[in-house]
Amino acid sequence: MLLHQVANFKKTYFLINKHTPLQNILSIHGISKSYGPVQALKQVSFTVPPGCVFGILGPNGSGKTTLLGTILDVLKADAGTYEWLDGMQPDAARSQIGSLLETPNFYHYLSAIENLQIAARIKKRGLDDIERVLGIVGLLERKDSRFQTYSLGMKQRLAIGAALLGNPKVLVFDEPTNGLDPAGIAEIRDLIRQLNEQGITIIMASHLLDEVEKVCTHVAILKRGDLLLSGPVDEVLRSEDQVEVKADDMPALQNLLQAMPGVAGIKAANGIFILSTENGISTRDINAYCANKGITLSHLLLKKKSLETKFMELTN
C-alpha cells in the first residue's frame, strides 16, 4: 500500500513539474498609448511565438519604439495588457529578457570587461558571465581595449553583449543596425542569426524592409499606431503577381474577367487592365479562358510585384 502511494506521488510530482514548452514568448492585447493629442498606438494586439526573430516593421513615427518601451515597462500604456512567457510573474520574466533600446551607453575610457562589469552590477546578474558573452559577440580578443577605440559595429556588439548578461531567453532590440556602415550592418545581422540559432527569441524594431526580410521569421507592420498585418514573414510579405491584359473590346473583357475564377481584382490604367490573381492562376490560364469565350487578347504580360512595392502600398 505504501509503495503504491509513493508511486502515485512520484507520478503526480512528475506531471506537475514536467517542463511544458512555451506557447507564446509575448502576448499583446489591445495596447493603446497617447502623447497628448497624438495617438502613438491604437489597440495593438499580436503574439510572438518562441524561437523566432520577430520584426516590428514600420516607417519612423509608426509607434515601434513606443511599443517596445511599453512591453519593457519603460512606458505605461493607456489601455491594454501584455504577458511575457505565458504569463510568468513580471519579476521572473524580466530576468529572462535582455534589451537594447538606445545608443550604447558605456564609459569611453574603460575596457569592454570593465564596462560589462558595471552593466552586470546594475542588472544584479551576469557578473560571472562576461567572458562568455564577449566570446559570443566576437570581442574576446579586444576585451581589454578601451571602448573609445572600438568601431561603431564593435560598440553595438558590446551593447548586445551587455543585453546577453545572465543568459536571457529573449532579446529586445530597437533599430539594432541604425547608423552603422554596411560592414557593421552585416556583422549585427549575422550575430542576430547566430543568437537565434542558439534558441534565443529576438524581437526587433526596424524601419528597413530589407533588414526584416533578411533576418526575421515573423513580422508585425505598424503605421501611425495601427497594426496593419502580423504573422510569418513569408505570408505577410508574400510577393504578389499581377497580370496586364488588353483586347479590342475592353468592356467585354472586363465583364469576362470579373466572372473568372482566380481573378481577385481588376484595375484599369493606361488603356490596359491590371489583374490581381490568386490560387496559382497563370497567364496561360487567362489566355485560354478568354479564347474559349471568344475574346482574343492583344496584350498579356506577367508582372511580379516586389516586396518593396507591397510594403510601400501598405504604409503610404
Q: What is the pLDDT of residues 138-158, one digit of tens each?
A: 999 999 999 999 999 999 999
Asked if pLDDT for residue 15 goes beyond 70, the answer is no
Question: What band does 10 get if pLDDT is binned at 50, 70 and 90?
Answer: very low
CATH of the domain at 292: 3.30.70.100
Asked if pLDDT for residue 310 goes beyond 80, the answer is no
pLDDT at 302: 84
Instruction: Return d(Cα 163, Cα 130) in angstroms, integer.
Output: 11
Residue 187 lies inside a defined structural domain of this protein: yes
pLDDT mean over 236-250: 84
Which region, left, alpha or beta, applies to residue 237 given φ > 0 means left and ψ of -120 to 50 means alpha? alpha
pLDDT at 4: 41
pTM: 0.77
pLDDT at 20: 66
Q: Please tell me whether residues 69 and 171 are part of one structural domain.
A: yes
Boundary-marking domain end, from 205, 236, 267: 236
CATH of the domain at 36: 3.40.50.300
Boundary-marking domain end, from 206, 236, 266: 236
Residue 6 lies inside a defined structural domain of this protein: no
Instruction: Return d(Cα 42, Cα 13) in angstroms, integer.
Output: 44
Query: What Å distances lie between residue 195 and 80, 160, 303, CA to CA?
Result: 31, 10, 37
Q: Which of 88, 33, 28, 91 is nearest to 65 (CA)?
A: 33
312's enclosing H/E stretch is helix 307-315
CB neighbour list of residue 124: distance below 8 Å, 6 or more residues apart: none
Asked if pLDDT for residue 193 goes beyond 90, the answer is yes
Task: Express each pLDDT in 206-219 by its tens digit.
Answer: 998 888 989 999 99
Residue 10 lies inside a defined structural domain of this protein: no
Domain ranges, residue 78? 26-236
Asked if pLDDT for residue 60 goes beyond 50, the answer is yes
HSE (CB half, 13 Å, CA atoms) of 240?
Answer: 17
Task: Express each pLDDT in 64-111 by its tens digit.
Answer: 999 999 999 999 999 999 999 998 998 889 999 999 987 778 999 999
Query: What Å distances lie between residue 175 and 54, 59, 119, 179, 199, CA to CA?
Result: 13, 12, 21, 9, 21
Residue 194 lies inside a defined structural domain of this protein: yes
